[in-house]
Structure 1
Amino acid sequence: MLFQENMWRWALDPLIASHFLHCQQKRQQLVGSGRPTRPCMTLYAHAARRREPVEKRAVWLFYAENERCSCAFNASMLSLVNSSRRHGFFGKRDREAALVMKIVVTDPVHEDGIARLRRVHNVTLLFEEPRADSRDAALASADALVIRGFTISGEVLDRCPRVGVIGKHGSGTDNVDLAEASRRGVVVASTPGGANATAVAEGAVGLMLAALRRVLDCHRAVTEGRFGVRDEWRLADLWGHTLGLVGCGNIGTIVARICRRGFDMRVLVYDPTLSAERAEEIGAEKVERLHDLMKEADVVSIHVPLTDSTRGLVDAAALASMKSTAILVNTSRGPVVDEDALIAALAEGRIRGAGLDVFRREPPDADSPLLRLPNVTLSPHNAGLTEDSTREMGVRIAEYVLQALAGQKPPTLLNPQIWEARRQFVRDGVLQG
């Protein structure tokens, strides 16, 4: 039967192969003896009671379901599995092992997240595939993708005809064409908040201090024997000054808390989506115009997603409003700031300095003036990549992808409106999810 042929394909998975031949021989012996009418369900029950390996129980489960089929190809296999689930014929771990799918991880994520995915499904690390044809083949057979900076466009989705789930590691989703994914029934989940938000917030405050205290200049002065600059330079403080937040979601809220409580700063917020009541709850003052915030702040910190409305939000006019003693910190997305206008303001000394974790193009061009300006502190878009945050994000996105593959709605879906009409999984002719 086609079902048994499919079982041979699933048996090639390393989790199941070691048990398959033994189970097939045992089944043939029992069927030949004429003893039980449903030998595989009986053997599955015995294996479950003895707590035998989940992979062996998965093999018996597939055979047991086959005993319940009366035709060679049953397009309602999913409903059959769901029926068995409702009647308690097998547990969650057995179902997970039984429906082995293919997940492609396009960018490096924490090894604990990859290990969680591999406990259940086949995983290919695209970033370790040296050959283009191997990468194309992996994408073509993938049921789900886990991405970081990898771009998801209509063209890429054309190369991934099976994909029904995309897990975006991190909170920013400007590299995902969400409308195109939704049109194709592909659900997308991300990992907002959590340890990533605290890590980025700490990174933003770190860049504030690095720029105000000229940390890199001080380090070079000591290593080059110029200790005397301690009497020439006048560094700047955070304590008691004014912070201006452009955007105040999860990350901005934490930055506000750190700066207000830790440095006794006055906090201004420009965020059209934030209510005045919410601003008051976090100890901030809401301003209605970006210009007003830029004019009053000693430190401007940007925390907005990149959208059509925020692209170029901090333009030449906004930068011209800043105090000459103020600094700008950006840990959101590079194109939110007009980079050419920022370079001009820094080069001409119209603002004190900048701390940048993100850029218009990443990595920045080798001839970018940002790499040579003395009043800029740069980091390679890693403000959020601490050990704690990368592990938490990796494990969270793995769990969300596994939930979606198992037919459970993840809590951070970016397109929940398509959940009921999402793309179904078909593996070797059998409907799977």
Structure 2
Amino acid sequence: MRILLADAFPAAHLAELTELGHDCDYRPDATTDQLAERLTGCEALVVRSTRVPASALDGADALRLVIRAGSGTNTIDCEAASRLGIHVCNVPGRNAVAVAELAFALLLALDRSICDNVADLRAERWDKKRYSRARGILGRRVGVIGLGQVGLAFAERAAAFGMEVYAVAKPGRSQETLDRASSIGVHFVDDLHTLARTCDVLSLHVPATDDTRHLIDADLLAQVQPRTIILNTSRGHLVDEDALIEALEDKDIRAGLDVYADEPATSTGHIESRLAKHPNVYGTHHIGASTEQAQQAVAAEVVRIVETFASGTVLHCVNLDEGRSPQPATHFGDDS
């Protein structure tokens, strides 16, 4: 297949795709505006953070597969892809540990005021009195919102640090998820408001959908205790930022955030965010999945998705039925 890779991709796995007979057009600095032109003649597109709007898909004459090198697909117009018969596939679970690690790092950093410690030391200020007031996390109650792969990985780390883990009971969870939650010692409550009232920490691990938009809103924030820590390493869409800013100021809530409502569409640029500037917020640059370990694992699964699609099978499809692809793809460069 001719494949456009429009974001950074590990060299070893790029070489593997080429060795397997695929014609790879590697454009790690491609912008959304350039996609339509670059996609001419391409059967597959691999993206990580690059947005894929309908305008890019409409003119893609040969495109049959879009792979998001990660779990979330909210940056891809899946409705347009479905209309055009283009399969959109993701790579679930391969970066779960990396995201969970960052969420837990933000929790520890907030509890011990690590970022402020570092800033003061770099400014040649010594203030042991101020920084000797951490609460500690042993025995604290953490509410995990979303028990997918990332949520469970975060819950395991919280339990290992002696925290009590809570989640909302939800019908339809797989037995595997319930068994894993049981082994962690997760306590279940009836609803999100009860979780908010119960816990010292809330950590978000759900996808961006219409149902999860502003999941953290003024009504929910009214339920949380003063000095609660809120962690979001999922999507900025989940939080009503105006309501959170008000709670930061009124209830001394603190937040550890890796995602924001209006992030730049590119990997570098300017961000204008009242939330990111707030002194009660420790923020990172949407880097939850950005570890070498995670990216190698994701890339290996991308290669597998490409190969199975080329042989006529679709894996991890989020918009059309999984199973057989419309027809086996052509391996450019394979004369047999």
Find the counterpart in structure 2 of residue 319 from structure 1.
Answer: 221
Name the SS for the 1:309 alignment partner: coil
Q: What letter is aligned with 1:422?
A: P
Q: Normalising by structure 1, report the TM-score.
A: 0.69
Residue 380 (str. 1) matches residue 275 (str. 2): no
* Offset at residue 276 of structure 1 (A): 10
Q: Which has the larger radius of gyration?
A: 1
Find the counterpart in structure 2 of residue 290 from structure 1.
Answer: 192
Cα offsets for 1:75-111 (capped at 9, x unmatched): xxxxxxxxxxxxxxxxxxxxxxxxxx31001111222
> 2: CA distance between counterparts of 1:295 and 1:353?
16
The unaligned stretches of length 5 or more in structure 2 are none
Name the SS for the 1:269 alignment partner: strand
Residues 1:365 and 1:139: Cα distance change in structure 2 (over 3 Å): same
Q: Percent identity?
A: 32
> 2: CA distance between counterparts of 1:419 and 1:181?
17
Residues 1:193 and 1:427: Cα distance change in structure 2 (over 3 Å): closer
1:20-419 equivalences in 2 (<5 Å):
101-119=1-19, 120-128=21-29, 136-194=36-94, 196-227=95-126, 229-233=127-131, 234-260=133-159, 262-270=160-168, 272-273=170-171, 275=173, 278=178, 279-346=181-248, 348-363=249-264, 366-410=271-315, 412-415=316-319, 417=321, 419=323
Cα offsets for 1:120-179 (capped at 9, x unmatched): 21111233459977x544211111010112233332211212011111100111122334
Q: What letter is aligned with 1:294?
A: A
Greater percentage in helix: 1
Q: What letter is aligned with 1:287?
A: V
* Offset at residue 268 of structure 1 (A): 0.8
Q: Normalising by structure 2, report the TM-score.
A: 0.88
* Offset at residue 280 of structure 1 (A): 3.0
Q: What letter is aligned with 1:320?
A: A
Contact 2:309 2:328 in 1 (8 A): no
Find the counterpart in structure 2 of residue 58 from structure 1.
Answer: none
Residues 1:384 and 1:129: Cα distance change in structure 2 (over 3 Å): closer
> 2: CA distance between counterparts of 1:315 and 1:157?
34
* Offset at residue 343 of structure 1 (A): 1.5
Q: What letter is aligned with 1:414?
A: V
> 1: CA distance between counterparts of 2:30 and 2:191?
49
> 2: CA distance between counterparts of 1:425 and 1:331?
36
Contact 1:244 1:269 in 2 (8 A): yes
> 2: CA distance between counterparts of 1:424 and 1:153?
26
Residues 1:351 and 1:111: Cα distance change in structure 2 (over 3 Å): farther
> 1: CA distance between counterparts of 2:262 and 2:228?
25
Find the counterpart in structure 2 of residue 39 from structure 1.
Answer: none
Name the SS for the 1:188 alignment partner: strand
* Offset at residue 217 of structure 1 (A): 0.5
Cα offsets for 1:267-311 (capped at 9, x unmatched): 111263565971434311122211111111111100000011001
> 2: CA distance between counterparts of 1:189 and 1:171?
9
How many pairs align?
323
> 2: CA distance between counterparts of 1:359 and 1:200?
15
Contact 2:36 2:55 in 1 (8 A): no
Q: What letter is aligned with 1:178?
A: C
Contact 2:312 2:325 in 1 (8 A): no
Residues 1:151 and 1:419: Cα distance change in structure 2 (over 3 Å): farther
Residues 1:131 and 1:325: Cα distance change in structure 2 (over 3 Å): closer
* Offset at residue 325 of structure 1 (A): 1.6
The unaligned stretches of length 5 or more in structure 1 are 1-100
> 1: CA distance between counterparts of 2:24 and 2:196?
47
> 1: CA distance between counterparts of 2:152 and 2:250?
30
* Offset at residue 404 of structure 1 (A): 0.4
Contact 2:313 2:324 in 1 (8 A): no
* Offset at residue 427 of structure 1 (A): 9.5
Residues 1:344 and 1:104: Cα distance change in structure 2 (over 3 Å): same
Residues 1:126 and 1:355: Cα distance change in structure 2 (over 3 Å): same
- C-alpha RMSD of the superposition: 2.6
Contact 2:166 2:189 in 1 (8 A): yes
Contact 2:231 2:256 in 1 (8 A): yes
Deviates more, 1:112-121 or 1:325-334: 112-121
Deviates more, 1:144-153 or 1:323-332: 144-153
